[in-house]
Amino acid sequence: MIWLLAGAAVVLVVVMGLVVVGRETGRLAAAARPAVFELEEAVDFIADRLPPEVAGRLTHDDVRWVLRADADLLESATEEGDRHSRLEVVEEDAAVARILAVADATGRDLADADVVSVLDARMDYLEAIGAIGPQVAEPGDDPSP
């Protein structure tokens, strides 16, 4: 009789475990995966998608350097301080110009097209990881395709 009760208890525990694991698996499958920018993954992704003429000039280290320089620009544009009350927009031309200025100051030989290609491929990476989505329609635009 004791073996029957022990067997029923084991079956009950296993069933409860399967129900809990199944429920949590379903919940996690439905939850949105957080978008995380992994630098090394981004460097590989971007380097694989550069146009051939740019890929021939840039190394993975150059791509990594451009990404870090751009991150520094974005960070400086969003610093707290006297600018906290206004919206700061970083234009692509300004980002390219700043990256090229820093490259010249540090002795890196980068062309405008190289930086633009890396930044364009970076946007593709951000879309691929789900960090950005489709462009939002402007107010008053016709939402139909």
Per residue in 87-105, pLDDT (tens digit) is 566 677 888 888 999 899 9
Q: Computed from CA positions of residues 79, 83, 85, 88, in that sequence, does the dihedral angle turn out positive or negative? A: negative
Q: Report the range out of 51-55, 70-74, 140-144 with the highest average pLDDT.
A: 51-55
Q: Nearest CA to 108 among 49, 39, 58?
A: 58
What mean pLDDT comes out for the span 30-49?
88
Q: Report the range out of 17-26, 87-96, 131-140 with the highest average pLDDT.
A: 17-26
> Per the confidence metrics, is the pTM higher than 0.75?
no
In this prediction, residue 35 has a pLDDT band, given cuts at 50, 70 and 90, of confident
What ranges do the domains of the chain cover? 1-31, 39-128
Predicted pLDDT of residue 83: 52
CA–CA–CA angle 23, 24, 28 (5° rounding): 120
In this prediction, residue 27 has a pLDDT band, given cuts at 50, 70 and 90, of confident
Q: In whole angstroms, give the CA distance from residue 68 to residue 37.
A: 12
**DSSP structure class, residue 139:** T
